A and B are shown apart, each in its own frame.
Chain A
Amino acid sequence: MRDPSPVPASAPGADASATVSAAPATGPRRSGGATVTFERVTKRYDPGDKGPGAVNDLSFTVPAGRICVLVGPSGCGKTTSLKMVNRLIEPTSGRILIDGVDASTRDVTELRRGIGYVIQQVGLFPHQTVGENVAVVPRLLGWSAARQRERSDELLGLVGLDPARYRDRYPSQLSGGERQRVGVARALAADPPVMLMDEPFGAVDPIVRERLQNEFLRLQQDLAKTILFVTHDIDEAIKMGDLVAVMQAGGVLAQFAPPEQLLAQPASEFVARFVGADRGLKRLSLMRVRDLPPHPAVIARPGDDAADARRRILADPFPYLLLVDAIGAPIGWLDQRAIPTSGTLSADGANAMSPLFAPETTIKDALSMLLDNEVQAGITVDRDGRALGLVTAQDIALAARPEGGPR
């Protein structure tokens, strides 16, 4: 395990602290979740029906604190399966157990209040403020107004929305990404052990989606909820899932496996076709930027001694110096040839920024962003925007070799 080296607070001298390392690996999980078991669950809308939304003899177990992604083509019954957990749809036969208790034996209202629910269209209440929306379940549970408000502020902060700015707004005044965040905060409000998420990031553009996915994975490291997550996007399934349930037409479970195994050993022709011919490429979705070998950047701040910076960048194989601001957030690149031999560094003439990655960004997304931006390197930043290190196309190529990966 690597030691996280923070960016120095003061301007760096010629010492090694002028470089930054990659992010630390994640710690062990503590579980705030419950085990969810599907036991021979079947849903038919008409006798003998194999039509859209039907589910056929579904059995699997999601261990507490894990994300299980249900993925498959439309009409494969993945959303039906999800809605049978909180009994928006009742199974025709079979049982769903939450921590060993049959969901059908519980009071349906009480059951639903104990399960977080996020849907693609978010379903925020237009007539309630953001703060009121987040506090919906606490209010139903009869919490005091003060406790509701405290909790709703806490959760808004957790999903990256400043409570003071957002609490009194109406949903119509939010962007798509902000709405999705509020939707997640609302689902977490009563600290439910189980969360159901039906294409929760489906309604936003790819860049926002990537960021929401990363933030959610980061949250999940602390929360360790048991999450059932529906998507039709195999890349999202591979990225988000600890376990992936691939479903096919008629509501049949085609394979239930960790994503690595899904890619390496598809159980059937259908699964192989569904995960696609580019399985090697998809394996890049399994690796995160934080898994790459650390690639420290040579960094400096505007106002630093130019001669010293020049000496350091000429000694590095990568020909660009990364300029950062006072807290260590990237400002832009300086070409080593453009650095004066004396005087101080200036941000004038710095090249445009590279794409920024979170430690959770998948290698596939990172490579895609590098290609889109036609640049050689991206910058990994922490949640406060401080530069952690570089990711170059070459780093990715090395990591992606067969038998490759982080060494």
Chain B
Amino acid sequence: MLDWGWLTSHVGAFADRTVQHVYLAAIGLLVGFLIAFALALWAVRRRRAYPPIAGLAGVVYTIPSLVLFAALVPITGISLLTAEVPLVLYTQVIFIRNIVAGFDAVPADVVEAAAGMGYTPNQRLWRVELPLAVPLIVAGLRVASVSTIGLVTITGTLGDRFGGLGFFIFEGYSRSFSTEILAGAVLSIALALAVDFLLVRAQRWLTPWTRPPAPADRLAAVETGA
């Protein structure tokens, strides 16, 4: 059923495409996070800005990805920008909601105590509110990562230079070669699960106060880092 010969002869291609997949997803997630963080901070400071921001991000999320790629090609051509714009846009609704929820979850008494003890608003944001928002922010990052890693496969519609592991899915489809389709899909799913696992470990390491002390955990997180 599976063409093992083909699989073993393409290990190098799998590795290259996995690297590309991670690269495309990482850019989308990083840029998406920075934009969403700025928008979320604005929404936290000015509450009235939140409904329109979240609403717009939600509407964007409903646009089918293929439509978005097709609409961008006449404007930005077949380029990295065309691949990344949809990835970034789709992360917004997830990131914004989770970052705002993260800041909202910071206990009011903690914020008041920080203000009363003489934290400046900036110190309060970075040293008190942000650390306490980490669990919900990481929760958003996990959902956005899984979703973005899935979406990267669709960038394969832009041609052989994109798609990451999605390349195998599109090529396999055009050749009616099921082994190749399966290889692309399984690797893409495995990549999403691996990243999700790493993020869970990262959160445990970043938020030691949310669990009972267990000194061995830090070492374990470093060891699984590869």
Contacts and interface: CB of A to CB of B under 8 A. Distances in A.
B120 to A, nearest CB: 5
Interface in A151-187: 170-173, 186
Contacts of A128: 209
A22 to B, nearest CB: 39
A59 interface: no
Contact of A113 (B109, B113, B117): B117
B107 A172 contact: no
Contact of A109 (B120, B208, B209): B120
14 contacts: A88-B116, A112-B117, A117-B117, A120-B109, A123-B107, A123-B112, A123-B116, A125-B114, A125-B128, A126-B110, A126-B209, A127-B207, A172-B209, A196-B116
Contacts of A196: 116
A23 interface: no
Interface residues of A, number: 30
Interface of A: 83, 86, 88, 109-115, 117, 119-128, 136-137, 140, 170-173, 186, 196
Given A126-B209, A127-B131, A140-B123, A121 B118 contact: no
B109 A119 contact: yes
Contacts of B209: 126-128, 170-172
B132 A126 contact: yes
Interface of B: 107, 109-110, 112-120, 123, 128, 131-132, 207-209, 212
B107 A121 contact: yes
Contacts of B110: 123-126
Given A109-B120, A140-B119, A123 B207 contact: no
B112 A88 contact: yes
A365 to B, nearest CB: 28
Contacts of B207: 127
Contact of A123 (B113, B118, B120): B113
Q: Which of B107, B116, B120, B123 has the most chain A CB atoms inside 10 A of its CB?
A: B116
A109 B114 contact: no
Contact of A112 (B118, B132, B212): B118
A86 B116 contact: yes
A314 to B, nearest CB: 56
